[in-house]
Amino acid sequence: MADLAIRIGKIKFKNPVMTASGTFGFGPEFDDFIDVSRIGAVLVKGITGSERQGNPYPRMAETASGMLNTVGLQNKGIDYFVEKIYPEIIKYDTEIIVNVNGGTIEEYCMVAEKCNKLERINAIELNISCPNVTQGGMIFGTHCPSTIAVTDAVRKSFNKTLIVKLSPNVTDIVEFAQAVEGCGADAVSLINTLLGMAIDAKTHRSKLSTITGGLSGPAVKPIALRMVWQVANAVKIPVIGIGGIMNTNDAIEFFLAGASAVQIGTANFINPAVTIEIIDGINRYLNNKGFSSIHNLIGALEV
């Protein structure tokens, strides 16, 4: 058994495989299929200060090797999470990370402060990269001064491990990664979805209610890998790689590019057991290669 443990901020994770926010519900949705406690960390669905209905149907369109979504952060708000969901999911013997969202800096801070008080929440992921909301979201993640303002403020509201999730919808993602590192973020995760479109040629309409949406799945993997590689070479804090990971090999590629951990998103929809298969697959891969630890792989790209 190779050593899969990694450290991010103040946390030691038992393995480097996490779920990507918005693709795994809160965890119980997967109880019938897998032992959720075996996953390195569960990132729950994005949460805002108060309840949001999200965007109208239709919210998804399948595309070549991927999908577009425009869920728009439908959730019941942080208080509902604290009262109803948190008590249920602390049954899992693993890290639970809240994906924090807001329309204003105050809202982000309010959610972060409430998470700060929860004993079993050791980390939050600041989502400044949701492309599907008109207020906040990606606006904070694609304009560097706003990125700094929100990260600074949330850093002051939350004293445990802070991960900032970056948007790929920028010219130079490195600039944003360095900016949040400068604000005291403990790690960056990337990428969120890429802004895209799908049009129905028969009806002359967009396939999504909001016209544009976020692209995920294997179609985005080459871009995600390139961005992880660029960012890992430019910051000292750990990088969590996300984007189109469908199997063990995909995950290995992200470690080689410099990711210390990976998040699995869209793949959960097609194979609800994929996270566990990837954890076991990484272990087998390391054993076959004669590596004792995941650290033998991280950033080991030969150039």
Ligand X SMILES: Cc1cc2nc3c(=O)[nH]c(=O)nc-3n(C[C@H](O)[C@H](O)[C@H](O)COP(=O)(O)O)c2cc1C
Say whether residue 21 binds ligand X (CB under 6 A). yes
Asked if 14 contacts 40 with a C-beta cutoff of 8 angstroms, the reply is yes
How many of the other CB atoms lie within 10 Å of CB of 39? 26
Locate all alpha helices (DSSP H) within 56-143, ordered by sequence: 78-80, 86-89, 105-116, 138-141
Q: Please pick, from the candidates 15, 21, 23, 142, the single residue that binds another protein as defined by CB under 8 A.
A: 23
Say whether residue 27 binds ligand X (CB under 6 A). no
Q: Please pick, from the candidates 14, 33, 82, 174, the single residue that binds another protein as defined by CB under 8 A.
A: 33
Closest distance to ligand X from the beta carbon of 303 (Å): 25
Q: Enter the DSSP assignment of 167.
A: P
Positions 113 through 142 that interact with ligand X (CB under 6 A): 127, 130
- Biggest CA pair distance of the chain: 56
Q: What share of the chain is helix, strand, coil (3-state, %, to 5)?
A: 35, 20, 45
From the list another protein, ligand X, none, pick the one residue 20 interacts with, judged by a Cβ distance below 5 to 8 Å according to partner type. Answer: ligand X
Say whether residue 45 binds another protein (CB under 8 A). yes
Asked if 65 contacts 219 with a C-beta cutoff of 8 angstroms, the reply is yes
Closer residue to another protein in complex, CB, 157/266: 266
For ligand X, what does the binding mask look like between residues 229 and 268, x meaning CB under 6 A?
A: -------------xxxx------------------xxxx-
**Which sign does the torsion angle of CA 79, 269, 136, 129 carry?**
positive
Say whether residue 206 binds ligand X (CB under 6 A). no
Closest distance to another protein from the beta carbon of 74 (Å): 5
Distance (Å, whole) CA 207 – CA 63: 11
Closer residue to another protein in complex, CB, 34/162: 34
- Dihedral of the alpha carbons of 173, 175, 179, 185, in degrees to the nearest 10: 30
**Which sign does the torsion angle of CA 65, 255, 190, 223 carry?**
negative
Residues in CB range of 59: below 8 A, 6 or more apart: 69, 70, 71, 72, 208, 209, 213
Closer residue to ligand X in complex, CB, 2/250: 250
Active site residues: 130
Q: Please pick, from the candidates 15, 48, 94, 99, the single residue that binds ligand X as defined by CB under 6 A.
A: 99
Say whether residue 225 binds ligand X (CB under 6 A). no
Say whether residue 296 binds another protein (CB under 8 A). no
Closest distance to ligand X from the beta carbon of 35 (Å): 21
Q: Please pick, from the candidates 220, 259, 297, 298, the single residue that binds ligand X as defined by CB under 6 A.
A: 220
Closest distance to ligand X from the beta carbon of 38 (Å): 19
Closest distance to ligand X from the beta carbon of 228 (Å): 12
Distance (Å, whole) CA 35 – CA 44: 16
Please count the residues of this chain forming the interface with another protein, following the rule CB under 8 A.
33
- Residue that has been written with the tokens 């425009």 in this structure: 70
Residue 9 C-beta-side C-alpha neighbours within 13 Å: 23
Binding site for another protein (CB under 8 A): 22-25, 29-30, 32-33, 45, 53-54, 56-60, 62-67, 69, 71, 74, 217-218, 268-273
Binding site for ligand X (CB under 6 A): 20-23, 45-46, 69, 71, 73, 99, 127, 130, 165, 192-193, 216-217, 220, 242-245, 264-267
